[in-house]
């Protein structure tokens, strides 16, 4: 299987001094969904931003390593060139234009002239993917719920005609029932197209539900990788990202009690 | 009734100038403090065109409009483009410098004396009787008509055309706009061009109604409170803000003291900054202004 994206020893520095990534290595197989797991501040978002291209406002720079996309070196390529290559990001926060309606949010996306005149059809395709959006088409995006915003954000990213879709925090802050619906929709889209997806998640459950391969990022480095069925049973993952259920909590309480007793004995 | 006509004319002038502030601020969050100078530059361009190229008033005005588009585009490409992604304060200070430079250049080229542009392009600024007791000048009538058309055109453009929507989108979230493949430079260049065009139009029309000298750039400064009262990022707001300022100014001049005319807009500005700093129709969270 060929890789659509290959990231080697990637280092990113913010404001010329703050190093956020310390040599990240990861690959995304063509047509597959790959997950990037990690806690807050592990460098997941920075990795996605580095792949999709910074703009001047970010004050960030790739200082070492490289990013290869379809065999071509695209390290440090800036927006909007990465979009023209087919790499599109769904950002974590501020993912829709709140002052524009749902339909306008889809329409502002940069398209070629031919696609622009074919606009109705593109809009319909997105509404087929996310039927819920069709009913909201004239509503300002600022009034949408978190789940609807996520759908709109993915929809407007799809208008860019991506080969590689980067999704930053698919499930963060959303109700479980909405997350299930979005997962279902993404599976549909993935099944119908040859889209490759790199998914950043804090929830291992969501990542395992969608992805076939996963990387675990910690302190700006990939600590662990593997097929998701292997990761699912990995003890370290269980501890770090899934919690170990009631048994684990009992352990924690026991540990806390033991520590308190030890302190009392001293 | 004459007072009402005066209010409408002054509202049109302030609204037309304010639309330039609003366009650039709405799209790039930069306050263009050189707008007054750019406006007068438009009027001087008409002087240059009528003296050198065309003597027919309509041809001269059309050419001036084209030149003003070139001016707006050059301001962005040569100066403000470098400021994209820099702190907003740097960009605002750049416009201050640009204003001072333009003012100096205009004095050097066209001299400090007043010029009668209307006479130069043989524009007949006859007074027109709307009713028995209400009279306005031809240029003032043109001003009202042009302001109406410019606002109609701008609102239609911003809400119905794809590039207009992109301008609104970029103003709301520039980073997301870039991530959706929108070329920010095109959007900003468009905003500066449209802003300079409407400003120059205002400059031309106001100088046809009186005479022109560099100090008329102060009209730009007086129209700024109009933009801010309405909310710096709202076009309908600018129209209403212009109405408020113009009405107060005309009424106070008429009933209290003509010397108040230069003070009124800024009194209103201070009042609104205390009570409602984001303006009547502005976006509330946008308070990190410079």
Q: Is residue B96 part of a domain?
A: yes
By C-alpha distance, which of B270, B223, B153 is closest to B11?
Answer: B223
Q: Residue range B133-145: average pLDDT?
A: 90
Residue of B175, B181, B183 to mutate, interface with A, max A Cβ within 10 Å: B181
Q: Is residue B160 part of a domain?
A: yes
* Count of C-beta atoms within a 10 Å radius of residue A10: 25
Q: Which residues pair with B137 in a beta bridge?
A: B127
Lowest mean pLDDT among B71-75, B125-129, B232-236, B251-255: B125-129
Report the chain B residue with the minimal C-alpha distance to residue A51.
Answer: B179
Residues 107-146 of A with CB under 8 A from B: 107-110, 116
- What DSSP string runs through chain A? --EEEEEEEEEEEETTTEEEEEEEEEEEETT-EEEEE--TTSSHHHHHHHHH---GGG-EEEEEEEEEETTEE-TTPPTTHHHHHTEEEE-SSS-S-TTSBHHHHHHSS---HHHHHTHHHHHHHHHHH-HHHHHTTTSBGGGS-HHHHHHHHHHHHHHT--SEEEEE-SSTT--HHHHHHHHHHHHHHHHHS--EEEEEES-HHHHHHH-SEEEEEETTEEEEEEEHHHHTT-HHHIIIII--HHHHHHHHHHHHHHHHHHHHH-
Q: What is the pLDDT of residue B288?
A: 52
Nearest to B180 among A84, A99, A108 (CB): A108
B179 and A79 within 8 Å at the Cβ level: the answer is yes
CATH architecture type of domain A3-233: 3-Layer(aba) Sandwich (3.40)
* A to B CB pairs, distance under 8 Å: 71
Residue of A79, A84, A154 to mutate, interface with B, max B Cβ within 10 Å: A79
Q: Is residue B279 part of a domain?
A: no
Q: What is the pLDDT of residue B161?
A: 92
What residues in B contact A95, CB-CB < 8 Å?
A: 176
What residues in B contact A109, CB-CB < 8 Å?
A: 180-182
Q: What is the pLDDT of residue A61?
A: 85
More confident of the two residues A238 and B118? B118
What residues in A contact B166, CB-CB < 8 Å?
A: 108
Nearest to A57 among B175, B180, B183 (CB): B175
Count of all residues that appear for chain A in the document: 266
Q: What is the pLDDT of residue B66?
A: 92
Q: Residue range B182-202: average pLDDT?
A: 94
Q: What is the pLDDT of residue B56?
A: 79
B162 and A52 within 8 Å at the Cβ level: the answer is no
> What confidence tier does B186 reach under pLDDT thresholds 50, 70, 90?
very high
pLDDT in tens, B212-241: 888 888 888 889 999 998 888 889 999 999
Checking if the pLDDT of B286 tops 70, the result is: no
- B169 membership: H or E segment, kind and range: helix B162-172
A56 touches chain B (CB under 8 A): yes
Contact A167, A154 (CB under 8 A): yes
- What DSSP string runs through B219-252? HHHHHHHHHHHH-TT-HHHHHHHHHHHHHHHHHH
CA atoms within 13 A on the CB side of A112: 5
Q: What is the pLDDT of residue B214?
A: 86
Q: What is the pLDDT of residue A195?
A: 92
Residue of B180, B183, B184, B188 to mutate, interface with A, max A Cβ within 10 Å: B180
B169 touches chain A (CB under 8 A): yes
Q: What distance in Å separates the CA atoms of residue B214 and residue A245, rounded to the nearest whole number?
A: 77
pLDDT in tens, B237-282: 999 999 999 999 999 989 988 888 888 889 889 998 888 888 888 7
Q: Is residue B251 part of a domain?
A: no
Q: How many domains does chain B have?
A: 1
B35 touches chain A (CB under 8 A): no
| Structural domain span for residue B161 | 2-217
Q: Along chain A (266 residues), what's the average pLDDT of each consecutive run of 10 residues? A: 87 86 90 88 87 80 90 87 90 91 90 73 89 92 93 93 92 90 92 91 87 88 86 73 49 65 68
> Distance, in angstroms, between B201 CA and closest chain A CA?
29
Q: Residue range B69-91: average pLDDT?
A: 89
**Beta strands in B67-215, from DSSP E residues, in sequence order:** 127-129, 135-137
Domain layout of chain A by residue ranges: 3-233, 235-266
Q: What is the pLDDT of residue B136?
A: 87
Q: What is the pLDDT of residue B144?
A: 95
Q: Residue range B48-59: average pLDDT?
A: 80
What residues in A contact B27, CB-CB < 8 Å?
A: none
Residues whose CB falls within 8 Å of the CB of residue A39, separated by 6 or more in sequence, listed in order:
A202, A218, A240, A241
Q: What is the pLDDT of residue A245?
A: 44
pLDDT in tens, A40-64: 778 888 899 999 988 766 778 888 8
> Distance, in angstroms, between A258 CA and closest chain B CA?
50
Q: Which residues pair with B115 in a beta bridge?
A: B212
Q: What is the pLDDT of residue A2?
A: 83
Q: What is the pLDDT of residue A254?
A: 66
Nearest to A100 among B165, B179, B183 (CB): B165
B165 touches chain A (CB under 8 A): yes
What residues in A contact B283, CB-CB < 8 Å?
A: 99
Report the chain B residue with the minimal C-alpha distance to residue A83.
Answer: B181
Q: List the structure tokens of B76.
A: 């962005």
Q: Is residue B157 part of a domain?
A: yes
Residues whose CB falls within 8 Å of the CB of residue A83, separated by 6 or more in sequence, listed in order:
A53, A110, A160, B179, B180, B181
More confident of the two residues B118 and B186? B186
> What confidence tier does B157 reach under pLDDT thresholds 50, 70, 90?
very high
B181 and A109 within 8 Å at the Cβ level: the answer is yes
Report the chain A residue with the minimal C-alpha distance to residue B183.
Answer: A80
Q: What are phi and psi of A13, to 5 degrees?
A: -120, 130
DSSP 3-state percent helix, strand, coil across chain B (nearest 5): 75, 5, 20
Q: What is the pLDDT of residue B290?
A: 44
Q: Is residue B146 part of a domain?
A: yes
Contact A141, A105 (CB under 8 A): yes
The single residue listed with the structure tokens 């087929």 is: A128
For all residues of chain B together, what is the average pLDDT?
A: 89
What's the distance, CA B72 to chain centroid? 12
């Amino acid at each position: 299987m060929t890789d659509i994206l290959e990231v080697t020893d990637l280092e990113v520095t913010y404001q010329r001094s703050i190093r956020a990534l310390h040599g990240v290595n990861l690959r995304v197989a063509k047509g597959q969904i790959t997950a990037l797991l990690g806690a807050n501040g592990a460098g997941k978002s920075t990795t996605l931003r580095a792949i999709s291209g910074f703009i001047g406002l970010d004050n960030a720079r790739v200082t070492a390593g490289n990013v290869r996309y379809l065999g071509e070196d695209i390290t440090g390529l800036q927006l909007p060139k990465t979009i023209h290559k087919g790499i599109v990001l769904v950002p974590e926060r501020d993912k829709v234009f709140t002052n524009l309606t749902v339909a306008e949010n889809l329409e502002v996306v940069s398209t070629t002239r031919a696609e622009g005149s074919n606009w109705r059809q593109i809009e319909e395709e997105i509404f087929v993917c996310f039927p819920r959006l069709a009913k909201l088409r004239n509503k300002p995006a600022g009034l949408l719920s978190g789940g609807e915003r996520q759908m709109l954000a993915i929809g407007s990213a799809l208008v860019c005609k991506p080969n590689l879709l980067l999704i930053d925090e698919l499930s963060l802050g959303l109700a479980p029932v909405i997350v299930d619906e979005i997962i279902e929709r993404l599976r549909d889209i993935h099944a119908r197209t040859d889209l490759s997806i790199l998914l950043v998640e804090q929830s291992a459950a969501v990542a395992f539900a969608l992805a076939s391969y996963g990387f675990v990022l910690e302190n700006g480095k990939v600590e662990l990788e593997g097929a998701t069925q292997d990761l699912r049973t990995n003890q370290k993952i269980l501890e770090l990202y899934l919690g170990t259920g009631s048994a684990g909590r009992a352990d924690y309480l026991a540990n806390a009690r033991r520590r308190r007793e030890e302190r009392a004995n001293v | 009734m004459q007072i009402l006509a005066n209010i409408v004319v002054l509202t049109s002038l302030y609204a037309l100038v304010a639309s330039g502030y609003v366009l650039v601020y709405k799209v790039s969050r930069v306050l263009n403090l050189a707008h007054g100078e750019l406006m007068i530059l438009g009027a001087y361009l008409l002087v240059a065109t009528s003296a050198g190229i065309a003597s027919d008033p309509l041809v001269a005005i059309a050419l001036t409009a084209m030149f003003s588009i070139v001016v707006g585009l050059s301001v962005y490409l040569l100066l403000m483009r470098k400021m994209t992604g820099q702190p907003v304060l740097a960009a605002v200070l750049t416009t201050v410098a640009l204003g001072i430079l333009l003012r100096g250049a205009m004095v050097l080229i066209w001299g400090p004396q007043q010029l009668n542009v209307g006479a130069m392009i043989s524009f007949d600024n006859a007074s027109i009787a709307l009713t028995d007791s209400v009279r306005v000048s031809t240029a003032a009538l043109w001003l009202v008509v042009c302001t109406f058309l410019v606002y109609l055109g701008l609102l239609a453009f911003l809400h119905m055309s794809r590039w207009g929507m992109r301008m609104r989108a970029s103003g709301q979230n520039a980073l997301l706009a870039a991530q959706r493949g929108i070329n920010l430079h095109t959007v900003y260049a468009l905003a500066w061009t449209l802003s300079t065009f409407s400003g120059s139009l205002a400059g031309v029309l106001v100088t046809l109604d009186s005479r022109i000298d560099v100090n008329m750039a102060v009209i730009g400064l007086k129209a700024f409170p109009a933009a801010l009262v309405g909310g710096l990022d709202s076009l309908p707001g600018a129209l209403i803000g212009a109405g408020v300022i113009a009405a107060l100014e005309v009424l106070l001049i008429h009933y209290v003291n003509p010397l108040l005319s230069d003070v009124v807009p800024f009194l209103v500005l201070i009042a609104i900054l205390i009570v409602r700093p984001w303006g009547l129709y502005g976006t509330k969270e946008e308070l990190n202004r410079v």
